[in-house]
Amino acid sequence: MEKIKDKKRTAVLLIHCPDKRGIVASVTDFLYKNNGNIIHLDQHVDREKKIFFMRVEWELDNFNIPDNEILKFFQYSIGKTFQMHSEIHFSEKVQRAAIFVSKISHCFYDVLSRYVSGEWQIEIPLIISNHNALEKVARLYGIDFHHIQINESNKAEQEQKELQLLQQYNIDFIVLARYMQILSGDFIRTFNKPIINIHHSFLPAFPGAKPYHCAYERGVKLIGATGHYVTTELDAGPIIEQDVVRVTHKHSIADLIRRGQDVEKMVLARAVWLHIHHMTLVYENRTIVFN
Amino acid sequence: MEKIKDKKRTAVLLIHCPDKRGIVASVTDFLYKNNGNIIHLDQHVDREKKIFFMRVEWELDNFNIPDNEILKFFQYSIGKTFQMHSEIHFSEKVQRAAIFVSKISHCFYDVLSRYVSGEWQIEIPLIISNHNALEKVARLYGIDFHHIQINESNKAEQEQKELQLLQQYNIDFIVLARYMQILSGDFIRTFNKPIINIHHSFLPAFPGAKPYHCAYERGVKLIGATGHYVTTELDAGPIIEQDVVRVTHKHSIADLIRRGQDVEKMVLARAVWLHIHHMTLVYENRTIVFN
Amino acid sequence: MEKIKDKKRTAVLLIHCPDKRGIVASVTDFLYKNNGNIIHLDQHVDREKKIFFMRVEWELDNFNIPDNEILKFFQYSIGKTFQMHSEIHFSEKVQRAAIFVSKISHCFYDVLSRYVSGEWQIEIPLIISNHNALEKVARLYGIDFHHIQINESNKAEQEQKELQLLQQYNIDFIVLARYMQILSGDFIRTFNKPIINIHHSFLPAFPGAKPYHCAYERGVKLIGATGHYVTTELDAGPIIEQDVVRVTHKHSIADLIRRGQDVEKMVLARAVWLHIHHMTLVYENRTIVFN
Amino acid sequence: MEKIKDKKRTAVLLIHCPDKRGIVASVTDFLYKNNGNIIHLDQHVDREKKIFFMRVEWELDNFNIPDNEILKFFQYSIGKTFQMHSEIHFSEKVQRAAIFVSKISHCFYDVLSRYVSGEWQIEIPLIISNHNALEKVARLYGIDFHHIQINESNKAEQEQKELQLLQQYNIDFIVLARYMQILSGDFIRTFNKPIINIHHSFLPAFPGAKPYHCAYERGVKLIGATGHYVTTELDAGPIIEQDVVRVTHKHSIADLIRRGQDVEKMVLARAVWLHIHHMTLVYENRTIVFN
Same domain, B14 and B133: no
Residue A249 has its nearest CB partner, among B220, B241, B286, at B286
Q: Where on the phi/psi map is residue B89: left (φ > 0), alpha (ψ -120 to 50), or beta? A: beta
For residue C95, give the DSSP letter.
P
- Contact criterion met (CB < 8 Å) for A221 and B204: no
Q: Which of residues 146-175 of D touch C (CB under 8 A)?
A: none
Domain boundary among D35, D65, D90: D90
Per CB-CB distance under 8 Å, the chain B contacts of D40 are: 45
For residue A178, give the DSSP letter.
S
- Contact criterion met (CB < 8 Å) for A24 and C22: no
pLDDT on residue D6 = 56
- Contact criterion met (CB < 8 Å) for B202 and A206: no
Q: Is A205 near chain B, with CB under 8 Å?
A: yes
Binning pLDDT at 50, 70 and 90, where does residue C129 land? very high
Nearest CA in chain A to B219: A286
End-to-end CA distance of chain B: 26
> What digits encode the pLDDT tens for the residues A260-274?
999 999 999 999 999
For residue A175, give the DSSP letter.
E
Measure the CA–CA gap between A262 and A243, rounded to whole angstroms. 10
Instruction: Tally C-beta pairs within 8 A across A and D.
Output: 37
Same domain, B186 and B251: yes
DSSP three-state, residue A61: coil
Same domain, A235 and A278: yes
Residue A28 has its nearest CB partner, among C25, C42, C45, at C25
Q: Residue D147 belongs to what domain range?
A: 96-289
Percentage of residues of chain C with pLDDT beyond 90: 95
ipTM for this prediction: 0.94
Phi then psi for B121, rounded to 5 degrees?
A: -90, 65
Specify the number of domains making up chain A.
Answer: 2
- Contact criterion met (CB < 8 Å) for A202 and B202: yes
Same domain, D55 and D79: yes
- Contact criterion met (CB < 8 Å) for C203 and D218: yes
Active-site entry in B235, B243, B255, B262: B235
- Contact criterion met (CB < 8 Å) for A203 and B220: yes
For residue A275, give the DSSP letter.
H
> What digits encode the pLDDT tens for the residues C180-232?
999 999 999 999 999 999 999 999 999 999 999 999 999 999 999 999 999 99
- To probe the interface with A, which of C10, C19, C21 has the most A CB atoms within 10 Å? C21
Q: Which of residues 4-63 of D touch B (CB under 8 A)?
A: 21-22, 24-25, 28-29, 31-32, 35-43, 45, 47
Q: What is the 3-state secondary structure (H, E, C) of chain D?
A: CCCCCCCCCEEEEEEEEECCCCHHHHHHHHHHHCCCEEEEEEEEEECCCCEEEEEEEEECCCCCCCHHHHHHHHHHHHHCCCCCEEEEEECCCCCEEEEEECCCCHHHHHHHHHHHCCCCCCEEEEEEECCCCCHHHHHHCCCEEEECCCCCCCHHHHHHHHHHHHHHCCCCEEEECCCCCCCCHHHHHHHCCCEEEEECCCCCCCCCCCHHHHHHHHCCCEEEEEEEECCCCCCCCCEEEEEEEECCCCCCHHHHHHHHHHHHHHHHHHHHHHHHCCCEEEECCEEEECC
- Contact criterion met (CB < 8 Å) for B37 and D21: yes
Same domain, D101 and D207: yes
pLDDT on residue D7 = 74
Burial of D214 (0-12, 13-18, 19+ CB in 10 A): middle
pLDDT on residue A6 = 57
CB-based contact B148:B128 (threshold 8 Å): yes
Percentage of residues of chain A with pLDDT beyond 90: 95
The answer to the question of residue C2 being in a domain is: no
Nearest Cα to C192, choosing from C173, C176, C164, C168? C173
Domain boundary among D44, D74, D90: D90
Measure the CA–CA gap between C145 and D136, rounded to whole angstroms. 71
Chains that touch D (3 or more CB pairs under 8 A): A, B, C
pLDDT on residue A7 = 74
- Contact criterion met (CB < 8 Å) for D28 and B32: no
- Contact criterion met (CB < 8 Å) for B249 and A288: yes
Q: Is A233 near chain B, with CB under 8 Å?
A: no
Phi then psi for A179, rounded to 5 degrees?
A: -95, 115
Kindly write down the DSSP assignment for every residue of C3-18, as one continuous string: PPPP---EEEEEEEEE
Same domain, D74 and D131: no
The answer to the question of residue B269 being in a domain is: yes
The answer to the question of residue B179 being in a domain is: yes
C235 included as an active-site residue = yes
Measure the CA–CA gap between D68 and D70, rounded to whole angstroms. 6
A4 pLDDT above the threshold of 80: no
A286 pLDDT above the threshold of 70: yes
Q: Is D243 near chain A, with CB under 8 Å?
A: no
Same domain, D138 and D280: yes
Binning pLDDT at 50, 70 and 90, where does residue A2 land? very low
Same domain, A222 and A107: yes
The answer to the question of residue A3 being in a domain is: no
Same domain, B180 and B67: no
Measure the CA–CA gap between B35 and D21, rounded to whole angstroms. 8
The rounded average pLDDT for each run of 10 residues, N- to C-terminus, in chain D (291 residues) is 63 97 96 95 93 97 96 96 97 97 97 96 97 93 96 95 98 97 97 98 94 96 98 96 97 96 98 98 96 87
Residue D39 has its nearest CB partner, among B22, B38, B45, at B45
Residue numbers in chain B where pLDDT is lower than 70: 1-6
The answer to the question of residue D4 being in a domain is: no
Measure the CA–CA gap between B235 and B204, rounded to whole angstroms. 8
Q: Is A246 near chain C, with CB under 8 Å?
A: yes
Same domain, C66 and C176: no
CATH code of residue A223: 3.40.50.170
H/E segment holding residue C238: none
The answer to the question of residue B1 being in a domain is: no
Q: In whole angstroms, what separates CA B54 from the centre of its chain? A: 18
Same domain, C47 and C65: yes
CA distance D202 to chain B (A): 21
Domain boundary among A90, A106, A123: A90
Q: Is D286 near chain C, with CB under 8 Å?
A: yes
Residue B24 has its nearest CB partner, among D35, D38, D47, at D38
The answer to the question of residue D164 being in a domain is: yes
Predicted TM-score of the model (pTM): 0.96
Q: Is D136 near chain C, with CB under 8 Å?
A: no
Burial of D152 (0-12, 13-18, 19+ CB in 10 A): exposed
Measure the CA–CA gap between A222 and D66, rounded to whole angstroms. 41
pLDDT on residue A48 = 87
Nearest Cα to C216, choosing from C268, C241, C253, C184? C253
Same domain, B146 and B277: yes
- To probe the interface with A, which of D55, D110, D246 has the most A CB atoms within 10 Å? D110
CB-based contact D90:D11 (threshold 8 Å): yes
CATH code of residue A25: 3.30.70.260
The answer to the question of residue C4 being in a domain is: no
DSSP three-state, residue B185: helix
- Contact criterion met (CB < 8 Å) for D248 and C289: yes
